[in-house]
Amino acid sequence: MDETFGISYGGRQAEEEYIARTGAVPAPAASIGDVLLEDYPVEIKRAKSSTLNQVRAVKYIPLVAYSVPQQRWYVIPAHVVVAEISRKTRGQHSEIPFESATLSLARLYRYRLSSPDELRLATLSAIESSSTYPRLRQEMIRIRDEARELADQSLSNVRALLAELGIEP
């Protein structure tokens, strides 16, 4: 895989290889996931170290990671992502860990694939296994919705206060 620089495009090669190996298609919006496999969203990460950054458990979708140092793929079911992130007290970029968190590939060793040829089947299996926890998925939706409401209310309150104080945004 060739190098791509910048945080926004760091996983592009992993996405392209995943698509080539599984028949997935690019997702219509990044907020959904990176790709769609049989119409189901999947998040793809490319790790240059043992840490996965900006993992969003609130999406409740499988996480597929390519480890550059190991030259190995991992497929982590959504419920496992939620369980791993639940161990944290805050997020990577926010107070709510489920919005964005880091994960260690060392803790996810059991989800490492022995061959990239397993990607499609492992992802479909991850989708199926996580679908057996609908209450957990609903909780992630609730958390995401409440976080969005809090963000909207916070913006409204601060903008009103700035206007009251005569401070230009």
Q: pLDDT tens across 10-27, in order?
A: 578 999 999 999 999 999
Q: pLDDT tens across 96-137, in order?
A: 999 999 999 999 999 999 999 999 999 999 999 999 999 999
Q: What is the mean pLDDT of the chain?
A: 93
Q: How far, in Å, are 56, 77, 78, 88, 147 from residue 140 at the CA level?
A: 10, 14, 10, 15, 11
pLDDT value at 5 more than 70: no
pLDDT value at 139 more than 90: yes
pLDDT of the residue at 93: 87
Rounded to an integer, what distance in angstroms lies between the CA atom of residue 146 and that of residue 160? 21
SS3 52: strand
pLDDT value at 60 more than 50: yes
Written as six digits, the tokens of 106 are 């060392």
Angle between helices 134-165 and 78-85 (to 10 degrees): 60
Q: Has domain 12-132 been given CATH number 3.40.1350?
A: yes
Domain ranges of the chain: 12-132
Rounded to an integer, what distance in angstroms lies between the CA atom of residue 79 and that of residue 127? 10
